[in-house]
Amino acid sequence: MKNLSFGILLFFIGCAAPKEDIEIPEDISNLENLTVYSEETEADSSVEFVHDVTFEVPENISRNWFKRFPGYNWLAGIEIDDSGRVFIADHSFKMIHVFDSEGSYVTSLGREGNGPGEYQSITDTEIFSQKLHVFDWMKFRTTTYSLDSLKDIETEDVRPPVNMGEIDKITGWFTIRPLLRSEGTYLAGFIEDWPNANVGSPKYNLGQDRPMKFFFMDNESYIFSDEIFELKKGREDLVAQVGDRHLFNLRTYPFLARSLITISNDNHIYTTWTKNFLIKVYGPDGAYLRAFYHPYQRKILRREEVLPLFDGNDEWGMRDLVQHAELPETWPAIKSIITDDKNRLWVSKIVSDDVYEWWVLQDTGELVAKFRWPENRSIEAVKNGYAYSHEADEETGIQKILRYRIEMEKN
């Protein structure tokens, strides 16, 4: 149905401000090749989104797209091929739903299981070289489908790196799930220790940095680069002692900072710790190129606002955790970040209880456009002039994927 159209008023682009004119956190100000933008940065384009297609899966296949609990997401990726076909990866049902360019359901790929073309999880997808690549973190393997036949033509066991023991920095470390790159290699991460909630143990590490180091790995599970970058930790921790229970967050929540990584079509890598609007940029060879920072007054975090997220079944005690833990003073600055097919960044900022402000940026940090959408609407992919949005009905929680035509004009 093509019956929804709304316009967003945007602003104008501005110049970067001298560092000394803006208060910058110390750990940010020391970065090399850092561009700091003014708080009054404005955009130079206006944009309108026109609803084009709603993608729905037949109920006899999978219609269980709903929000189970904070931090859970059934959606493992959206890919669009050159013909306009859409591939929606369903982590809950371990399959990929295929739609034609008009939104009609074509078929599903894969199912739950351990054999060829079967999955224990779907955690990453990528289209390149006329193939769809699907990564299964639980099985640690990639399955490849031909876009011509939609048949699985290859199952590739990725395995932990065969030469990991030869690299002193990560000897004895654990492997984080690799990210596919558009040339058939992987960005592989390693962590020294997983979260350890064993109170009194010398390995207890909640609330501490748990560094992650990243390298390039080929499709034969061989690390072929020096260390590319290090992230201090993957997520912010919450802890609380409630009676005889030592509670902690099993996953990240929307009001906690976390590390995000996204890789563009041309294999540039972007990283951010979502507490601040700071994005670091690395080239296809892994070399650090630059960073940019947009000052942002973060939203105050109030306990009574987040407790309702945990109403209902709470067998893990997460409502008690949020009720008694010391919470951050503010929400993170950034909610999400993706790249489009023009290698621009689409970044959502948390601005109010029910609204995100999206910024479209050049890869240098210059603001192209900005607009506001409700928090139940999240852009997951942008290609060929369309935005693909993951949306949830506020009353039922049922989720859908919608496509919007992007109409962007210079002011």
Residue 200, pLDDT score: 85
In a domain, 144, yes or no: yes
Higher-confidence position of 60 and 399: 399
In a domain, 410, yes or no: no
H helix intervals, 325-377: none
A 10 A CB-CB count for 114 gives: 10
In a domain, 2, yes or no: no
Residue 304, pLDDT score: 94
For the ranges 20-29, 50-59, 150-159, 305-314, the maximum mean pLDDT occurs at 50-59
Residue 22, pLDDT score: 64
pLDDT band of residue 357 (cuts 50, 70, 90) is very high
In a domain, 392, yes or no: no
Predicted TM-score of the model (pTM):
0.89
pLDDT band of residue 313 (cuts 50, 70, 90) is low
For residue 67, pLDDT beyond 60: no
C-alpha to C-alpha distance for 83 and 61, rounded to whole angstroms? 24
pLDDT band of residue 309 (cuts 50, 70, 90) is confident
In a domain, 55, yes or no: no
In a domain, 82, yes or no: yes
Strand partners, 271: 261, 280
Pull the structure tokens for residue 337.
Answer: 């970040």
C-alpha to C-alpha distance for 96 and 33, rounded to whole angstroms? 41
Residue 359, pLDDT score: 96
Q: Give the model confidence (pLDDT) of 9-20 as tens digits.
A: 333 333 444 444
Residue 274, pLDDT score: 96
For residue 227, pLDDT beyond 50: yes
Count of domains for the chain:
1
Mean pLDDT across the chain: 87
For residue 315, pLDDT beyond 90: no
Pull the structure tokens for residue 180.
Answer: 């596919």
C-alpha to C-alpha distance for 227 and 213, rounded to whole angstroms? 7
Pull the structure tokens for residue 236.
Answer: 């912010």
Any long-range contacts for 21-29 (C-beta under 8 Å, 24+ apart)? 22/295, 23/295, 24/293, 24/295, 25/276, 28/276, 28/278, 28/291, 28/293
Q: Give the model confidence (pLDDT) of 279-307 as tens digits.
A: 999 999 999 999 999 998 899 999 999 99
CATH number where 104 lies: 2.40.10.480
Q: Give the model confidence (pLDDT) of 74-130 as tens digits.
A: 888 999 999 999 999 998 889 999 999 999 999 999 999 988 889 999 988 999 889
- Side by side, the strands of the sheet bearing 334-339 are 334-339, 345-350, 355-361, 367-374
C-alpha to C-alpha distance for 3 and 6, rounded to whole angstroms? 10
In a domain, 21, yes or no: no
Residue 93, pLDDT score: 85
Domain limits for position 153: 71-158
Residue 386, pLDDT score: 97
Share of the chain above pLDDT 90, in %: 61
In a domain, 93, yes or no: yes
